[in-house]
Amino acid sequence: MASNKTFDFKQNIAGALADKQLRSNFKNATDTLRGKRLAVFTDPEETLRLRHVGNQIKRAGLNRLPELLEQLEAKCKENGIIVHWAETVDEANNIVLSIMEQHGAHKMVKGKSMVSEEMHLNKFLEDKGKLPLETDLGEYIIQLNNEPPSHIIVPAVHKNRKQIGQIFADNIPGVSYTEDTAELLAIARGRLREHYRTADIGLSGVNFAIAESGTLCLVENEGNGRMCTAVPPVHVALMGLEKVVGTLEEVPALYRLLCGSATGQRITTYFNMIKGPRKPGEKDGPKEVHLIILDNGRSKILADKQLRQTLQCIRCGTCLNHCPVYTRIGGHAYGSTYPGPIGEILMPQIEGLDKKGNLATASSLCNACEEVCPVMIPIPALIRRLRDESYDMDENGVVKGHGCKKNLLETVIWKAWKYMQVYPLLNTIMLKKLQLFGNKLPKVGPLKAWTSVRTAPKFARQSLKDLAKKEGIRNE
């Protein structure tokens, strides 16, 4: 979903919670996805060992990221792939547009790519008079209905088959309503087949880019990714700069973790390894391949030793499926390309705490996301870090928009609390005041908001310190 000035997280949450059908759809879908994951990762010790391997591969890759990216660029060029660097989404969008214009292209078929969602590429191209067409089934459904994805892996997870049947009937000329899934699949396949054949450009994401060989790996189940990358004469691949790995030997562990965590599969139906354009004498494949490597704030995230762990993400979406908040409000409530726990730590860093810092409040800090993360990202710790930076009491923040929630009242309260802990006499005086008047504080301002969803604590007549002294406990 495009970021905008009218983003109101509270209102979005209220709307989602009031939608019983939405909540039912999400419950059914996420229950299924969690069950599939459990059916694949049956051995806790082996799963933990594999997660440690994935964690080490990603951490090592991030530690060598500049070197690996340069190696990837060199190898891709050797393979005949044209490499582009984009610092911002605007640059990336304009690179895609320039490639299309160089080839006089109008129609683009797209495989699934979260980076393209991050760029809001479809809207950009449509505004320029181009025709981007999603071919992943979930993406195809929500494009028909003019919606953004609500899940990283399952974009139309918020729709049931009846709703999808109605979307097809309303938006595809000549199609009657049906809720038969086989019929719906056949309709989508029939419509998309012709587009593959007539598209000028094919676009895909990249799950892993291997630096040592300049190979782009694409994981998928529907075959649309292979069609998008092999049938049109030009292929454009989009990747965030953190997707690079050093060697082919590192891919199987990450692939195993990705498949098992995302869809509960040991392997996906298709695993594409793209190493360049069609060679002389070959009968198929694109004649030209471009790779666009997007930064969009990732370099700044990389510079912080704690926050860089955000970039370990392999976009499996399992943290969403296990989040008690996401499973109840769904993806659209987050108003962001990346919803759920990973969105709570990634979007505020990309767009700024002043714009998306509220996402970090959508967590109970139950640790479920960290317990299932295949590459062991400490998501709750990063959420706490972003919450701290929103107030930036120590003025050491590094994330864009840090200190956006800082206000005079809370600053004074925390300063007073600090001095109470430093000076015993002040501590004694303040405790006495709170014992006398604390329970009579008017519920206004921040206290009103805080107590609207919580029971206000009652101040005891005697402090713990006084009770300990009264009981004769020494060294209290």
CA 146 to mean position of chain CA atoms: 20
With CA atoms as reference, report the closest residue to 255 among 207, 204, 318. Answer: 207
> Which tens digits make up the pLDDT trace of 402-416?
999 988 888 888 888
pLDDT computed for residue 286 by the predictor: 97
Give residue for tokens 């593959």: 196
> Which tens digits make up the pLDDT trace of 104-159?
999 999 999 999 999 999 999 999 999 999 999 999 999 999 999 999 999 999 99
Q: Residue 85 forms beta bridges with which residues?
A: 293
With CA atoms as reference, report the closest residue to 158 among 166, 144, 148. Answer: 148
For residue 297, the 8-state DSSP code is T
With a CB cutoff of 8 Å and minimum separation 6, the contacts of 184 are 161, 164, 165, 168, 178
Q: Which two tokens stand for residue 124?
A: 């950009």
With a CB cutoff of 8 Å and minimum separation 6, the contacts of 123 are 2
Within a 10 A sphere around the Cβ of 155, how many other Cβ atoms? Answer: 25
pLDDT computed for residue 459 by the predictor: 86
For the domain 41-296, what is the CATH superfamily, name and number?
NagB/RpiA/CoA transferase-like (3.40.50.10420)
Q: Which two tokens stand for residue 60?
A: 């090592």
pLDDT computed for residue 4 by the predictor: 47
Is pLDDT at 12 greater than 60 in this prediction?
yes
Beta-sheet strand order (sheet of 215-220): 244-245, 208-210, 215-220, 270-274
Is pLDDT at 320 greater than 80 in this prediction?
yes
pLDDT computed for residue 2 by the predictor: 42
Averaged confidence pLDDT in the chain: 94
CA-based angle 243:244:250, to the nearest 5? 105
Integer Cα distance of 420 and 416 in angstroms: 6
User: Are 230 and 278 in contact, with CB atoms under 8 Å apart?
Assistant: no
Is pLDDT at 393 greater than 80 in this prediction?
no
Residue ranges per domain, the chain?
41-296, 408-471
> Which tens digits make up the pLDDT trace of 230-289?
999 999 999 999 999 999 999 999 999 999 999 999 999 999 999 999 999 998 999 999
pLDDT computed for residue 475 by the predictor: 64
Is pLDDT at 469 greater than 90 in this prediction?
no
Is-above-0.95 flag for pTM? no
> Coil, strand, or helix at residue 429?
helix
